[in-house]
Amino acid sequence: MTIVAFAHHKGGTGKTTSCINIAGFLQKDGKKVLVVDCDPQANATVGLGIDPDSLEKSMYDAFMGIFEGFPDVAVSDIIVTTEAGIDLAPATLDLVGVEPYLYNIEDRAGVLKELLAPIVPVYDYILIDTPPSMGQFVINGLVAADHTVVTLDPGTFALKGIGTLSTIFEDMGDLLGASIETDVAILTRWRGADREEPAAGGLAVFIKRLFGPRSSPDDEKERERLVALENEVKNQFKQVFTVPYSPRIYETQQRGLPISHYAPDSDAAETYRTIASAIKNWG
């Protein structure tokens, strides 16, 4: 059994998208998979087709169950099976109310690990989606996990973000008394220098090169920036994957299904299939 945390202190990096889509390919390979949504925004919950407002119990109840005066609720009590066949421990906005309570207990970093312990034997993979912050839910996710996946977007500040993230992980490791190993980095929505425009190919590419506008100095500068970003990420992480930009990603999110179940033949799906295969090697 393998537990994987998806983490980044910045929003919009494709963290939840990667978590859901990797879970989808693991499930399609016959593995029993649980996604644990530890983000009060509940994006993983919505992304797997579950309306947070329809839930009677969620990760809020599981966390609060450890405190006196609240009902004792196990993670197994809140799990729902999604249309994709992936089990989900869902989140709601109520999860925001848990963090102040966690600051009042000594072993606050290990709460999620303890909550998951009874169901660990049930699953082949547990994937934890953490919020875009470095608060208690992220710390709990990292402590509970065997491996950590970091997602990065191709934006202007991504290169600076790598250094910030490394510093945060080092500080957290010192605080917890154990190093935090980041096993995989995923560059999402990637339009690197080695990729054509989405959905382009064959004659379309030839015509674009023949009649399209010449590259401007700004275009060349952008290509150099992306190459520098990709090289730096490869220097910092053991394995690096680039997921191409694809409108199919957004379609899958609206449908409440992972790309493995909605558009398995797309370029982005092929990369997520490869990442899922790499994660299976950890087990």
For the cut 80, the answer to whether the pLDDT of residue 196 exceeds it is: no
Q: Which CA distances in Å does 34 have to 75, 112, 146, 162, 276?
A: 11, 14, 15, 28, 14
pLDDT range class, residue 134, cuts 50, 70, 90:
confident
Q: Which domain holds residue 93?
A: 2-280
In angstroms, rounded to a whole number, what is the distance separating the alpha carbons of residues 69 and 20? 34
Residues 6+ apart with CB under 8 A from 252: 21, 258, 259, 261, 262, 263
Q: Which pLDDT score, from 0 to 100, does residue 84 have? A: 97
Query: How high is the pLDDT of residue 225?
Result: 65
- What mean pLDDT value characterizes the chain? 85
Of residues 267, 249, 272, the one with CA closest to residue 192 = 267
pLDDT at 205: 47
Backbone φ and ψ of 56, nearest 5°? -85, -35
pLDDT score of 179 more than 90: no
Cα Rg, the chain, nearest whole Å: 20
Taking residues 28-34, what's their average pLDDT? Answer: 97
Comparison of pLDDT for 207 and 55, the residue scoring more? 55
CA atoms within 13 A on the CB side of 27: 26
- pLDDT for the residue 217: 64
* % the chain with pLDDT above 90: 55
- Mean pLDDT to the nearest integer, 201-225: 57
pTM above 0.75, yes or no: yes
Output the domain CATH number for residue 65: 3.40.50.300
More confident residue, 191 or 278: 278
269 close to 263: Cβ distance less than 8 angstroms: yes
What's the rounded Cα separation, in Å, for the pair 24 and 112? 23
- What is the rounded average pLDDT of the residues 18-27? 98
Predicted confidence band of residue 98 (pLDDT cuts 50, 70, 90): very high
What kind and span of H or E run contains 59?
Answer: helix 59-64
What is the per-residue pLDDT for 189? 75
Across the range 255-282, mean pLDDT stands at: 94
Least confident of 24-33, 84-93, 128-137: 128-137
Type of residue at 128: I
Amino acid 200: pLDDT: 42
Max CA pair span of the chain = 71
Q: Lowest-confidence range among 44-48, 69-73, 126-130, 237-241?
A: 237-241
- Helix pair 158-176, 136-144: axis angle to 10 deg: 70
SS3 track for 164-197: HHHHHHHHHHHHHCCCCCEEEEEEEEECCCCCCC
Q: Is the pLDDT of residue 201 over 50?
A: no
The position carrying tokens 């925004």 is 41
Q: How far is CA 85 from CA 27, 48, 88, 211, in A?
A: 7, 10, 9, 47
Q: Are 125 and 33 spatial neighbours (Cβ–Cβ below 8 Å)? A: yes
| Per-residue model confidence (pLDDT) at position 173 | 73
Handedness of CA 184, 46, 269, 155 (dihedral sign): negative
Q: Among residues 223, 225, 229, 153, which one has the least CA distance to residue 190?
A: 153
Provide mean pLDDT across the span 8-31.
91
> Which residue is listed with tokens 């992972």?
258
Sheet strands (E) in 30-179 = 33-37, 80-81, 87-89, 125-129, 147-152
Lowest mean pLDDT among 14-23, 30-39, 134-143, 197-206: 197-206
Question: Per-residue pLDDT averaged across 131-153, rounded?
Answer: 89
Number of domains present in the structure of the chain: 1
